[in-house]
Amino acid sequence: MRGVFFDGSSVHLRRDLPDPAVCAGETLVRVRRAGICETDLQIARGYMGFRGVLGHEFVGETSEGRRVTAEINNACQTCETCRAGRQNHCPSRTVLGILNHDGAMADYVAVSTRNLHAIPDIIDDRCAVFIEPLAAAFRMIEQAEVGYGTSIAVIGDGKLGLLCTWVARSSGARVTLIGKHPEKLRVAGEDVQIVHLDEVERLRATFDFVADCTGSPTGFPLALKLVRPCGTVILKTTVAGDYTINLAPVVIDEVTIIGSRCGPFPRAIAALATREIDVTPLIGAELNLDDAERAFQLAGERGARKVLLDMHSK
């Protein structure tokens, strides 16, 4: 089969890959579409030490023709962490296309059967690719009481920043999106306050919650400036590499810091099915899997919208 393979130095389309080995408890899925995300670009730069087929945002169909996607953490289900209900943190987990498990940028992917979610017909393939990142945005609402009567600033106008903005808005919170790309800030929608990064100084110590979606070492220090005393900073993006930061304000202002990763698929599916959240403004170029290398180039361009790989188009 075909698959987008990272061999430790570069990303290539390979046509000589064996079909995935389907382990006990797994289901073989024929992939229809997959999305390229920031994590994939980081892996392609060698940051996560992964080798294999990339891809963790996808929609496909089972051998019975059921349209599905799957959660990405494959947990052992037996260790103490799993039994406590924290499967996404299982110490021996594999993660689709990220950690010790081949991913979905291929003709076929094997996924944990218990991780499968059916996709309602009303969600088309292109939007369904966003279920995984949208679920990650909803994770923030599970962890922090963002909602009516609260204010939140989202820093970063990339795809995850916009998804977090929309999730926060649908929670009822007053939302401010901070970024530096006017064309992306405009996508946020009417009831979101838009602030350019150059103008944030006046917002010092303002917000109940600040979500850092920048993927940059500058995001967290800015979040600490913007959050009010006893407020909460939510870290949604990882930053590759170490950096230095003064944590004294965290103590003095008694700031709560929350790390936030994977989230609830059913909530994301419901939000797309009811059009509570419309992700279509985030959809960018669509290329056939055969053009995967070019698709990665496009995805890596500054300000790129979500680049999709279509497995079957010509």
Binding residues for Zn ion, rule: CB under 5 A, are: 37, 39, 75-76, 79, 82, 90
* CA–CA–CA angle 30, 35, 38 (5° rounding): 140
Closest to Zn ion by CB, 82 or 110? 82
Helix (H) or strand (E) holding 283: strand 283-288
Q: How far is the CB of 208 from Zn ion (least distance, A)?
A: 27
Q: Which two tokens stand for residue 24?
A: 């006990």
Three-state SS for 294?
helix
If the CB atoms of residues 39 and 151 are measured against Zn ion, the closer one turns out to be 39
Indicate the SS3 state at residue 97.
coil
Compare residues 98 and 234 and give the one whose CB is closer to Zn ion.
Answer: 98
State the minimum distance, in angstroms, from the CB of residue 116 to Zn ion.
18
Q: Give me the least distance between CB of 143 and Zn ion, in Å please.
A: 18
Q: What is the smallest separation between the CB atom of 150 and Zn ion, expressed in angstroms?
A: 27
Minimum gap (Å) between residue 299 Cβ and Zn ion: 11
In the complex with Zn ion, the residue whose CB is nearer, 139 or 224, is 139
- CA separation (Å) from 219 to 1, 196, 272? 41, 14, 28
For residue 264 the two structure tokens come to 């609830």
CB of 151 to Zn ion, least distance (A): 27
Specify the residue, 72 or 311, whose C-beta has the smaller distance to Zn ion.
72
Backbone phi, then psi, for 246, in 5-degree steps?
-85, 115
Going by the DSSP 8-state scheme, the letter that residue 134 receives in this structure is: H
Q: Is 136:235 a contact under the CB 8 Å cutoff? A: no
Q: Which is nearer to Zn ion, 207 or 296 (CB)?
A: 296
Nearest Cα neighbor of 287 from 14, 102, 35 is: 35
Q: Least distance (Å) from Zn ion to the CB of residue 213?
A: 13
Q: How far apart are CA 161 and CA 251, in angstroms?
A: 27
* Residue entry with tokens 């070019």: 294
Residue 207 phi/psi, 5-degree rounding, is -100, 145
Q: Is the dihedral of CA 62, 110, 296, 273 positive or negative?
A: positive
Contact 104, 58 (CB under 8 A): yes
In the bound complex, what is the minimum distance in angstroms from residue 1's beta carbon to Zn ion? 22
b/e per residue 219-247 (b: at least 16 CB within 10 A):
bbebbbebbbeebbbbbbbebeeeeeeee
When the beta carbons of 219 and 263 are compared against Zn ion, the nearer one is: 263
Q: Of the two residues 104 and 168, which places its CB atom closer to Zn ion in the complex?
A: 104
